Structure 1
Amino acid sequence: MAKSPDAFRTIREVADWLGVAAHVLRFWESKFTQIKPVKRAGGRRYYRPADMRLIGGIKVLLHDEGMTIRGVQRLLREDGVAAVAARSPELDPDMMVAEAQPAPSIAEVAREAANENTQNPTPRPAPAQPATQGVPLPLADGLAALKARKAVLKSLPEAQSAPILARLRKLQAGLMAAAHG
């Protein structure tokens, strides 16, 4: 299944796109503070398309044009990130950003899957969940959103929903721990 055009990419996908080893990307991240991938549980890195363009430009400058790390750092300071990112090779068509089209939510994807796998073309909407009392507002909103997504996923066949529900339970536990810790 193909990823959404604006989906985050793993370090392996970015490394394969550029033709470098993953440890090279981690090294560049230590040398160029402008590279800021999203880090999730366990330290896994996820790169946005804008991150990929910057890294692509750095790769061109270092490997193809023979600049030094200090030279690229100076170029980033003087000309900015956009100038370096402009040197990046084209992203693969499946990695292009659809700026005007946001990625579908988990609930939308779950509804589509439910429509494909049931006789009833419109599944019941998830019931609205009240904010958890005593939890700071942003965390309470996150918990309510997770609970709503769980309700939608429970309408799917178990083989499809089990891995997603397990991940949602972990996220919920993390939010609860953050709220009380």
Structure 2
Amino acid sequence: MYIDLPERRYYSIGEVAKAFGVNTSLIRFWEKEFDVLKPKKNAKGNRKFTPEDIKNLKFIFYLVKERGFTLEGAKIHLKEEKKETLNNFEIISKLESIKNQLIKIKEHL
């Protein structure tokens, strides 16, 4: 899954939800369910997601939405830190990013 977000230090929950194509309520729900998601909150309580949070969200999205894991199954999978799955996921993400960049270049030609 390719997420098109500009490189920044922090992302709002609206930006993250739009990039993933989900509601903000799902992002908030996953934040409560998964310990690896710890967005910073400002004085007003607005969530600010870091690139590390985005990486974790991508992996959770991959496990739940693309691989069909239940939430409990995804939690167990994350806790066991299956390095092989994480490495495969990172490789797939990089390849999809390259593919999307090549498609954009092709469209401009």
Question: Considering only CA atoms, is the larger Rg found in Structure 1 or Structure 2?
Answer: 1
Identity %: 29
1:19-34 matches, within 5 Å, as 19-34=21-36
Runs of 4+ in 1 over 4 A off after TM superposition: 80-86, 88-92
The match for 2:18 is: 16
Q: How far is the alpha carbon of 1:50 from its aligned partner? A: 1.0
1:87: how far off? Answer: 2.7
1:98-109 aligned within 5 A: none
Contact 1:37–1:45 (8 Å) recurs in 2 = yes
CA distance in 2, matches of 1:82, 1:47: 25
Q: 1:111 aligns to what?
A: none
Give the TM-score normalised by the residue count of structure 2.
0.70
User: Larger relative contact order (C-alpha < 8 A, sep ≥ 6)?
Assistant: 2
Query: Are the structure 2 counterparts of residues 33 and 17 from structure 1 closer, same or farther at C-alpha, using a change threshold of 3 Å?
Result: same
| 2:48 aligned counterpart, secondary structure | strand
Residue segments in structure 2 that go unaligned for 5+ positions in a row = 98-109
Distance 1:24 1:42 in 2: 20
Structure 1: which 5+ runs fail to align?
A: 93-181
- What is the CA–CA distance in structure 2 between the aligned matches of 1:47 and 1:82, rounded to whole Å? 25
8 Å CA contact 1:58, 1:85 repeated in 2: no
Select which of 42, 52, 75 maps to 2:44.
42
Of residues 73, 76, 79 in structure 1, which corresponds to 2:78?
Answer: 76
Question: Cα RMSD over matched residues?
Answer: 2.8
